[in-house]
Structure 1
Amino acid sequence: MKLALFDGNRLGVVVDDDHSIVDVSEVVDTSDRDPLTAGWWRALCRDWADLRERVAGLAAEGTRIPVDQVRLDAPALAPSKVLAAASNYRAHVQEMHDVQERTLGTVHSWMMEFDVFLKSPSSLTAPAGPIVLPAEVVSAGQEIHHESELVIVVGAGGKDIPESEALGAVFGFTAGLDITVRSPADRSRRKSYDTFSPLGPWIRIRDDDFDGNDLDITLTVDGQVRQSVNTTDLITPVARIVSYASSIMTLHPGDLIFTGAPPGVGPINAGETLVTTISGIGTMTTAVA
């Protein structure tokens, strides 16, 4: 099943091979529509097992709305935190030596090791964007790069989750862009500008047949393929990322975890269009302004 947020964070199920949406907003507490609190969304992530059957029933009976007639919102609301994995594809680790030499004039070896870091939740934006390039960064001549990634949406969450149980703490998966300024600044700062985390187009719910493994990720910029990888190449796979992150901090329902940048990162410029596709999830087309 695929869930979308649309037209001011209404809840929908994506059907008809991604061509239609059925509004199932009645399944949530409509008295809490504030996107800054979004208690209903976190409760949905936490209590999905109890709500799934009702949502499926509403989707089967409801009116189908063409996807091209709605505005898709970012398929996540007010996460308590957004985590991201660093250095999680070997080919990306290799390419970063050249990227850092070109943009920083030196190589920071500690940045080539897997770990997790925080991005600001306020960097989230709708799948269409636009990604707004900060004027001061552009005028300084600093490169701003795309990083297309599989994103984990936390369900039940928890603390110190064993790897063997980690997938059970996951609500689903979506696609994300971890937009990054290449500069000497702190990693979290460089990735936390407003609009630097487009998310979408919707969430594919985790189940026994869809666990985030063996997914193709492709990103094009104005039709040119920049990134193409399969999640089997992750150094630290999904379950281990969740387990590791939970050993550091409690994961709350609705939290997001970007799983790491594939190789092929590169600069983006105003006027370009980024198309990110993850097999089994969908495609989001994002403008750069």
Structure 2
Amino acid sequence: MRICRFNENRLGVVEQDKVYDVSAVLDALPALKWPVAPGDLLIERLPMLQEAILAAKKDARTFALQEVKLLSPVATPSKIIAAPLNYKLHVEESAADAQIHNNVHNPGYEGFASPVAKFGVFLKNATGLVGPSEGVVINFPGRRNDHEVELAVVIGKKCKNVKAADARSVIAGYCIGLDMTVRGTEDRSYRKSADTYSVLGPYLVTADEVPNPGELAFSIHVNGEVRQNANTRDLITGIDELIEVASNVYTLYPGDVIMTGTPEGVASIQPGDVMTARIEQIGEMEVRIR
């Protein structure tokens, strides 16, 4: 199933080039009382709502996919977790291009099994999350702002200390993620956490539709020019291991997003540019820079 949030927080099911408005099922979500638990209520209840969603789809109003405003399919994540330097060729380009890490984080990981083993994972501001139709607003004009396309994993249930062998059981689904960043001397989390610097979309593809997320081709084009073109098989620290690492430190909640890392080819973007990101079995999204 492909779940989207569109227009004025409507809930949709995407099939081919159509969006079926199934927003009526949102009435089944429980009323919230203070204090509100962390996480995204829809993602938490999605397994229980699937039958109702399919029933609502039969008589649903439909929209053309290209005509709706696609928001982030996750509305209220408690956090966005990201993996640094998780493709070998990106490690190499980071070492060769001083601007990418600007001596803040030495991109080498000698003596460690992986960059994640050396640096751990890091957090991005959850309120910086947007959907593809909202676009990216340059928050650091006059500085180098880069695109980073990644496979994004959405957590489906509250969990802690998850073993890699059990990691797939806590995944709700997958999206395309854009981890936007400005280069400079500030801490990595600060440079990647500006408003609109986390893009998620075009919709959530439930985990059952992506049997092997470790074998997905993906790419990003800017103004029609290919910039990054890779496959998740080249992840240094795989999806299951990332969930283990993250959950050993953080309690994960429904709707939490894990950005799994970007490959080589990161490059700057400017206002007016159009990014087109694709991931096999997930889809394609167009994101404009303002």
User: Which TM-score applies when normalising by structure 2?
Assistant: 0.89
Size of the aligned set, in residue pairs, is 280
Superposition deviation, residue 172 in structure 1: 0.5
Instruction: For residues 205-225 of structure 1, give each alpha carbon's deviation from its aligned partner in whole angstroms, at most 9, with x where no partner exists.
Output: 001753422111110011110
Q: Would you say the 8 A contact 2:155–2:253 is kept in 1?
A: yes
Partner amino acid, structure 2, of 1:13: V
1:120 is the counterpart of 2:117:
no
Residues 165 and 55 (structure 1), Cα distance of their counterparts in 2 relative to 1, 3 Å cut? same
Correspondence for 1:138:
141
- Work out the percentage of aligned pairs sharing the same amino acid: 35
| Aligned-partner Cα distance in 1 for 2:36–2:77 | 9
Structure 2 runs not aligned, ≥5 long = 110-114
Residues 102 and 5 (structure 1), Cα distance of their counterparts in 2 relative to 1, 3 Å cut? closer
Q: Would you say the 8 A contact 1:82–1:257 is kept in 2?
A: yes
Superposition deviation, residue 57 in structure 1: 2.6
| Aligned-partner Cα distance in 2 for 1:208–1:103 | 35
Correspondence for 1:184:
185
For 1:87-102, what aligned pairs fall within 5 Å after superposition? 87-99=85-97, 101-102=98-99
Residues 38 and 79 (structure 1), Cα distance of their counterparts in 2 relative to 1, 3 Å cut? farther
Correspondence for 1:109:
106
Residues 222 and 46 (structure 1), Cα distance of their counterparts in 2 relative to 1, 3 Å cut? same
Instruction: For residues 212-270 of structure 1, give each alpha carbon's deviation from its aligned partner in whole angstroms, at most 9, with x where no partner exists.
Output: 22111110011110000111111111111112110111000111111101111011111
Q: Would you say the 8 A contact 1:22–1:59 is kept in 2?
A: yes
Partner amino acid, structure 2, of 1:181: V
Partner amino acid, structure 2, of 1:116: V
Residues 105 and 27 (structure 1), Cα distance of their counterparts in 2 relative to 1, 3 Å cut? closer
Q: Would you say the 8 A contact 2:101–2:107 is kept in 1?
A: no
Correspondence for 2:286:
285
Aligned to 1:128, what secondary structure does the other structure show?
A: helix
Aligned to 1:22, what secondary structure does the other structure show?
A: strand
Partner amino acid, structure 2, of 1:138: P
**Alignment RMSD:** 2.4
| Aligned-partner Cα distance in 2 for 1:31–1:56 | 16
Correspondence for 2:68:
70
For 1:42-81, what aligned pairs fall within 5 Å after superposition? 42-81=40-79
Residues 109 and 128 (structure 1), Cα distance of their counterparts in 2 relative to 1, 3 Å cut? same
Instruction: For residues 161-216 of structure 1, give each alpha carbon's deviation from its aligned partner in whole angstroms, at most 9, with x where no partner exists.
Output: 11111111010110111111110100010001111112111010001753422111
Partner amino acid, structure 1, of 2:138: L
Residues 111 and 205 (structure 1), Cα distance of their counterparts in 2 relative to 1, 3 Å cut? farther
Q: Would you say the 8 A contact 1:172–1:204 is kept in 2?
A: yes
Residues 63 and 7 (structure 1), Cα distance of their counterparts in 2 relative to 1, 3 Å cut? same
Correspondence for 2:112:
none
| Aligned-partner Cα distance in 1 for 2:256–2:40 | 9
Structure 1 runs not aligned, ≥5 long = none
Correspondence for 1:27:
25
Partner amino acid, structure 1, of 2:81: L
Partner amino acid, structure 2, of 1:226: R
User: Which TM-score applies when normalising by structure 1?
Assistant: 0.89
Residues 117 and 176 (structure 1), Cα distance of their counterparts in 2 relative to 1, 3 Å cut? same
Correspondence for 1:84:
82
Query: In terms of mean alpha carbon deviation, does 242-251 or 46-55 score higher?
Result: 46-55
Residues 107 and 250 (structure 1), Cα distance of their counterparts in 2 relative to 1, 3 Å cut? closer
Partner amino acid, structure 1, of 2:198: S
